[in-house]
Structure 1
Amino acid sequence: MNVPANGLYFVSYEILTNEYKRRFNRPNVDLIPAIIAGGLAGIFYWIGGMPADVLKSRLQSAPEGKFNNIRAVFKDLLKNDGMTALYRGFTPVILRAFPANAATFFGIELANAVFRQLAPDF
């Protein structure tokens, strides 16, 4: 279930940082653009991953025996709550996703910058 969301996460980060490097003729991404790209990557992750997460949570929290599989959860959700229920709670998830993922990629790019200084030819 996480494969599409992780694909959106890493691909969007790479696209955003590569576009920054291309536009500004930079060999590496700077820290502020990494923070912005990381935060946006987190948002893209949840856009793609939230429906699967909602279904998983409903399956896990249901009384034992209510659902046989994830398909049954999906049918029940559509029947009782509609398609928009797949994104219920989206705003708080996004508000948390941006800073959390911005910090993650900030740390990655900071570590990359340190490693480039310590071992420039590696």
Structure 2
Amino acid sequence: MSAGDDVVARYFAAVNDEDWTALRNLFTADAVLSATGARTRHGREDVLAYYPRVLARYAEHLDRPTRRLDFASTTVVEIAFAGRTVEGRPVAFDAIDVFDLRDGLIARLASWYDTAAVAARLA
């Protein structure tokens, strides 16, 4: 699979670039997003509304995949997040994303990280 065909790689590029149009094109119409500490989102538009809201608190952010495991239609990615809040505080944490793919698009995404530790860093 070429990098251009790799929906997971394109996902991280779109999130890091805050390219919401590119991100929109990576999800199925009936996509589901489950993120630790947030309500489950259903449908492409509901999923996409999550990203600008969550990332608004960061002046800079980078999700850097550090390890990837591919199993049939599921991909698991370990992520090192690094960023700086709009107030200038550095924030770094590890996360895991689990992607379920269908027809070359993201049908379900589960995102896991220590919300209490991140909230403490943001406070």
- Shorter-chain TM range is under 0.3
How high is the TM-score relative to the length of structure 2? 0.25
Q: Which structure's relative contact order is higher, taking Cα pairs within 8 Å and 6+ residues apart?
A: 1
More helix by share: 1
How high is the TM-score relative to the length of structure 1? 0.25
More strand by share: 2
Larger radius of gyration: 1
